[in-house]
Amino acid sequence: MDINIDFAKSNIKKKGFLDIDIDVNLDLFAEIERLKKEKNAIILAHYYQEPDIQDVADFIGDSLGLAQKAEKTEADIIVFAGVHFMAETAKILNPHKKVLLPDLKAGCSLADSAPAALFRQFKEKHPGHVVISYINCTADIKSLSDIICTSSNAEKIIESLPKDQKIIFAPDKNLGAYLKKKTGRDMVLWNGACIVHEIFSVEKITRLKIRHPKAKVIAHPECEEPVLRLADYIGSTTSLLKYTMNDDGQEYIVATETGILHQMQKESPYKTFIPAPPDNMCACNDCPYMKLNTLEKLYLCMQYEAPEIIMDKNILEAARKPIERMLAISKQYGL
């Protein structure tokens, strides 16, 4: 390292990332490729990352795909281009590996909506319930859960439990309500939500459909029920991408974070993808947390191996069990 350690630490503490000037003539794509080889590092990226990051990643996926890839990787360093709970999950599955996140402040409104102390009280009020938590939660919440799920496997995870089993589902009330309807289970829901998926405007999507009568509406189950009611297809990010690849339609209104459009357009260059409009004038269907990561921060974090995910050993151990249970059930169902 050719930077002062104390400077780096205070820089990360204050800003969440290493704020160091980069030579503008540097080819960051080539540099990142070089660092991957030199350090035996793998870049795992979520579909909501900016296109440059997706293009330099070794694997792009949804939350389940990323956890499965993290579980299997033989790389020494995992560079997680996503948000904090995703990098934490990779660390939980690889406690002896170095896991880096380009910007430590890349959080998640859903994860923030479930503080551990309040959740513990909530759990106590519902004895005898199995706790299924959506992977978009902190490691503390995972450690208080019985099974983790993602939007790809939630239905199967719920169905793997006996029909009379009482269930708490946390923290996403929209995904929870969707799953209650799909599985017929009367689950107790935690009142959390994703700021990005709650922003879509039913009125504007309806108007867009009138202007594009052949367009299909595809939506992520984190969206609110009125938006889901407009959808021709509902699924996780990977599932939405696959749908657009295999479907014979030509036009899609996409109700999820806009980052996914990059892969949709790459896979189906002749199809048209329209981001579902938010209910105001800003680009609020961009996740402000996901978009904190940039190619520059990715390069710096690989170069200096910081910021790194460091976790309390007890939480890490306790959070691993419900994640492993999720991975085992997913395997059983061929997911």
Residue 263 within binding range of ligand 13P, rule CB under 6 A: no
The single residue among 222, 224, 286, 296 that binds ligand 13P, judged by CB under 6 A, is 222
Q: Which does 195 bind (CB under 5 to 8 A by kind): ligand SF4, ligand 13P, none?
A: ligand SF4
Between residue 145 and residue 174, which ones bind ligand 13P under the rule CB under 6 A? Answer: 150-151
State which of residues 224, 257, 286, 296 lies at the interface with ligand SF4 (CB under 6 A).
257
Selection from 87, 49, 35, 52 nearest residue 66 by Cα = 87
Tokens encoding 195: 């700021």
Question: In whole angstroms, what is the distance from residue 236 CA to residue 216 CA?
Answer: 16
Q: In the bound complex, what is the minimum distance in angstroms from residue 26's beta carbon to ligand SF4?
A: 29
Torsion sign across C-alpha atoms 51, 291, 62, 64: positive
Q: Assess 237 for contact with ligand 13P (CB under 6 A).
A: yes
The tokens for 97 are 């590996």
- Contacts (Cβ under 8 Å, ≥6 apart) of 103: 16, 17, 292, 293, 294, 297, 307
Q: Which of residues 130-159 bind ligand SF4 (CB under 6 A)?
A: 136
Give residues 197-256 in contact with ligand SF4 (rule: CB under 6 A).
none
Contact 41, 76 (CB under 8 A): yes
Nearest approach, Cβ of 111 to ligand SF4 (angstroms)? 7
C-alpha 212/C-alpha 270 separation (Å) is 16
Phi, psi (deg, nearest 5) at residue 84: -55, -45
User: Toward ligand 13P, which CB reaches closer, 91 or 220?
Assistant: 220
Helix (H, G, I), strand (E, B) or coil at 74: coil
Task: Look at residue 88 and give the partner it binds from ligand 13P, ligand SF4, none, a contact being a CB closer than 5 to 8 Å depending on partner kind.
Answer: none
289: partner contacted, choices ligand 13P, ligand SF4, none (Cβ within 5-8 A by kind): ligand SF4
d(CA 64, CA 82): 13
Summarize as ranges the residues that interact with ligand 13P (CB under 6 A): 62-63, 136, 150-151, 194, 220, 222, 236-237
Summarize as ranges the residues that interact with ligand SF4 (CB under 6 A): 48, 83, 108-110, 136, 194-196, 257, 287, 289-290
